[in-house]
Structure 1
Amino acid sequence: MKACMVFDIGGTFIKYAVMDKNAQLLVSGKLATPKEGLESFLLTLQRIVEQYSADFDLQGIALSSPGSVNVKTGFIGGASAIPYIHGVNMAGLIRDRTGLQTTIENDANCAALAEGWLGAAKGSDYYICIVIGTGIGGSIVLNQSILRGASLHGGEFGYMIMGAPFQGDPLQATWSHVASTNALVVEVEERKSLGEGMLNGEEVFRLAEEGDPIAQECLAELYKRLAIGIYNLKYALDPQKILIGGGISKRQEVIAGINRELKGLINEISTLSIEVEACQFGNDANLIGALFHFLNDKGRFEE
């Protein structure tokens, strides 16, 4: 059976799947991301490919990766929790090891492409995906293609400065610093006089649900900060749809809270009705998007 080997490279785990051209997962699994270095990483992927090449007619390898991915050269710029993947032709190295044509795309872009192909943005020509986690990232998608920007930083929404630039260091008031899940956790810890790392996002939401006033206040402020950034993006880019991704997007109260704040940003000058939706895909989004990128790049599986 013709299929594609797909990898989602993460700082903690590598997820893998054998997928058909319709994004059906024929096989899937995950294993710890090697810490030893590049050679161990390449050997791990090579062995997985060899394991499944006996049972499937593998047409190629599709990679989802952190960092500033150059899809044309196969190099990964920027930085991530996996230092050894940067500055090398990752697609070329894997192709040389396996003999299979290999494509690579940024993980946030993969998630966005998945939504446009089969998810919440299906049928939309122009949309943005905002991924909220440790920081804030995302993608701009036009006609099923990523708008990458001159330096591959298109969609890096988290760099927007949200505070008054003359009050202290403006780079401490970026959207990632003030409105990410990590920012929420840090703010609650500081206001409750807890040590760093004492809480995580899930625990903050649990505290809010139990009536903790500090957690509730910080969440309300988070929704306002997210709404302001989304308002700016809507007026700057004017997409058809705005999708919210990341673990936080699974909570209906988050989407409702953001939309509630967005409704308050309408007056006689600001007349646009702005609304966000949650991304449809969760853990498999990067795999699905990586496959879409492979199919789009290579055209189709060979007959």
Structure 2
Amino acid sequence: MTKYFLAFDVGGTTIKYGLLDEQRQISATGHCSTEHNQNNHILKQLQLITADYQQKYNLAGIGVSTAGIVGVAGQIQYAGPTIPGYQGTPLKASLAQQSGLPVFVVNDVDAALLGEQLAGAAQDKTSVYCVALGTGIGGAYLDCGQLLNGAHATANSLGYTLYDPQTKTNYEQRASTLALEQQLIAHGVSVPVAFERARQHQAPFTTLIATWAAEVAAGLANIILLFDPELLLIGGAVSQQGEFLLQLLKQALVQQLPPDLCQTELRVAQLADQAQLFGAVAKFYN
């Protein structure tokens, strides 16, 4: 009988879920709203979906990728205001008690990195730093199979770095995809359209995209200098800009690093919005 692992990806507004089999094929996917976690809605939904899938399939384990900082007991150690009442939720203990199955709970950026190493762009690397560009900027570092999150599980909080006292902004306020979107409002275009026009050398998009890429590269340069990873992986929806984005970042890094120092390879993520589902259950494939 085929064994399946049930994977969840809990975000600020949506819970995604699906099954992965022993050949790492994904199926039976679905999604539902978090309902702003009213009355502990997220945990209740995970329990309902788990019960439903456990009746229908031969489950061997459950993995949860989630926003927020995950504690050592698989609980939500810290959650921001985007998910009210989420902090302290005992995800691992509750799902393990209900199902009788092993449960793995991991932060969503960590999960994206684990997913890319399991089935995506980082399969051939053991030292990988992942930078997720989106509404904010998150980081994750995997070295020799170990996620390195610091003594208090708050390491790799990239978005809060590089504070500039003159503009009173931090890294993610200048370099996130949201920051770029806000700059493009006046021009009435989306990020993908702006990139397409930059490819065509249209003003002012060539300059806008290059300036934003330089802001992103400032954070990447620090990662390279501090950690010297084998691979630096760029995730988030903007990673779909592929080689064009990589070339912009590489050009900007030349201006920010000592000549001939950088040996880290840059790649974009491959699994898009499925990376967290793969990463949620990656532990079960080791």
- TM-score, normalised to structure 1, is 0.84
- Structure 1 residues 25 and 188, CA, compared in 2 at 3 Å: closer, same or farther? closer
Residue 255 of structure 1 and its aligned partner are, at CA, apart by: 1.6
Q: Offset at 1:178?
A: 1.0
Provide the alpha-carbon RMSD of the alignment. 2.4
Higher-Rg structure is 1
Structure 2 counterpart of 1:177, from 162, 173, 179: 173
How many residues align? The count is 284
Q: Which amino acid is 2:206 matched to?
A: Q
**Secondary structure of the structure 1 residue equivalent to 2:28:** strand
Offset at residue 124 of structure 1 (A): 1.7
**1:40 CA displacement:** 3.3
Other-structure match for 2:55: 54
Query: Which amino acid in 2 is paired with 1:244?
Result: I
* Alpha-carbon offset, residue 275 of structure 1: 4.2
* 1:7 match: 8
Asked if structure 2 preserves the Cα contact closer than 8 Å seen for 1:67 and 1:80, the reply is no
For 1:214, the equivalent position in structure 2 comes to: 204
Alpha-carbon separation, structure 2, partners of 1:284 and 1:225 = 27
| 2:278 pairs with 1:288 | yes
Give 2:65's aligned residue.
64
Q: Secondary structure at the match of 1:150?
A: coil
- Are the aligned partners of 1:243 and 1:276 in contact in 2 as well (CA < 8 Å)? yes
Q: CA deviation at 1:212?
A: 5.1
Unmatched segments (≥5 aa) in structure 1: 297-303
- Looking at structure 1, the residues matched to 175 and 30 of structure 2 have their Cα atoms a distance apart, in angstroms, of 32
Opposite residue 140 of structure 1, the aligned amino acid is Y
Cα distance in 2 for partners of 1:223, 1:104 equals 33
Deviation at residue 277 of structure 1 after TM alignment: 0.7
Identity %: 28
Partner of 1:110: 111
Q: Deviations over 1:183-210 (max 9, x none)?
A: 1122233xx3x7xxx6643344355457
Deviates further, 78-87 or 127-136 = 78-87
Deviation above 6 Å: which 4+ runs of structure 1? Answer: none
Per the alignment, residue 155 of structure 2 pairs with 154
Relative to 1, partners in 2 of residues 1:35 and 1:178: Cα closer, same or farther, differing over 3 Å?
Answer: closer
Structure 2 CA distance, aligned partners of 1:287 and 1:274?
Answer: 27
Gaps of 5+ in 2: none
The alpha-carbon deviation at position 80 of structure 1 amounts to 5.1
Alignment of 1:1-303 (within 5 A): 1-35=2-36, 37-79=38-80, 81-161=82-162, 163=164, 165=165, 167=166, 169=168, 172=169, 174-189=170-185, 192=186, 200-205=190-195, 208=198, 213-252=203-242, 253-265=244-256, 271-295=261-285
Distance 1:29 1:160 in 2: 35
Residue type of the partner of 2:270? Answer: Q
